[in-house]
A and B are shown apart, each in its own frame.
Chain A
Amino acid sequence: NAGVTQTPKFQVLKTGQSMTLQCAQDMNHNSMYWYRQDPGMGLRLIYYSASEGTTDKGEVPNGYNVSRLNKREFSLRLESAAPSQTSVYFCASREQGGSSPLHFGNGTRLTVT
């Protein structure tokens, strides 16, 4: 049981380039999330998807877009990367609502030069 899988693990981009971070979960969870974590800081919510077919903005959505491709997959796209987007990106999933906890992937470390 893989849980939450994120690809790639590492990525270096130049300013202005675009890329998509992939996330897939095999736990049949309804809700999925994207967080970013800057060095020495806490996690900030970028976007989330409460259920398949819905997406909502989190705390820091500017500069990002998301797609809930199906129940398993939730991707995060940077259309024009900026150095301020250098961070570690974590994807998480959980059952929709209720008290179910978040399950996290191991993150994608992104550097924008």
Chain B
Amino acid sequence: LAKTTQPISMDSYEGQEVNITCSHNNIATNDYITWYQQFPSQGPRFIIQGYKTKVTNEVASLFIPADRKSSTLSLPRVSLSDTAVYYCLVGDTTGGGNKLTFGTGTQLKVEL
């Protein structure tokens, strides 16, 4: 299973765009990349998922280069409510790919 590496923490201000990069050098051909957001005292929740190139939804964008060894979560115009821990998870899609382990995550702090 591919391991992931993320920055431990990031700081930003309201209204700025935030980009969090995750490194997954050993990603396998069938692996998808999924990002989760976790607020204090809550379980993580799904934000976005992708396999290659770019994916966008109402919350975020996910950029994946051609070699897929990294991915970048982009949060446009963050607000105070985006202060949370963000996890990148790489899990394979083959039949045995159910052992899903998280990395350390990135603590994003948004200030006024």
Contact = CB atoms under 8 A, between A and B. Distances in A.
A101 interface: yes
Interface residues of A, number: 27
Nearest to A105: B43
A42 B104 contact: yes
Contacts of B89: 102
B87 A102 contact: no
A74 interface: no
B12 to A, nearest CB: 20
A97 B44 CA distance: 19
Given A42-B104, A104-B45, A99 B98 contact: no
Nearest to A49: B98
Given A43-B87, A90-B43, A97-B95, A102 B100 contact: yes
A90 B38 CA distance: 12
Contacts of B91: 99
25 contacts: A4-B43, A33-B100, A42-B87, A42-B105, A43-B44, A43-B102, A44-B101, A45-B100, A48-B99, A50-B96, A56-B98, A58-B99, A90-B43, A97-B93, A97-B94, A97-B98, A99-B91, A101-B36, A101-B46, A101-B49, A102-B36, A104-B43, A106-B42, A106-B43, A107-B41
Interface residues of B, number: 27
A33 B43 CA distance: 13
Residue of B93, B100, B104 with most chain A CB atoms under a 10 A cut-off: B100
B6 to A, nearest CB: 10
A53 interface: no
A103 B32 CA distance: 16
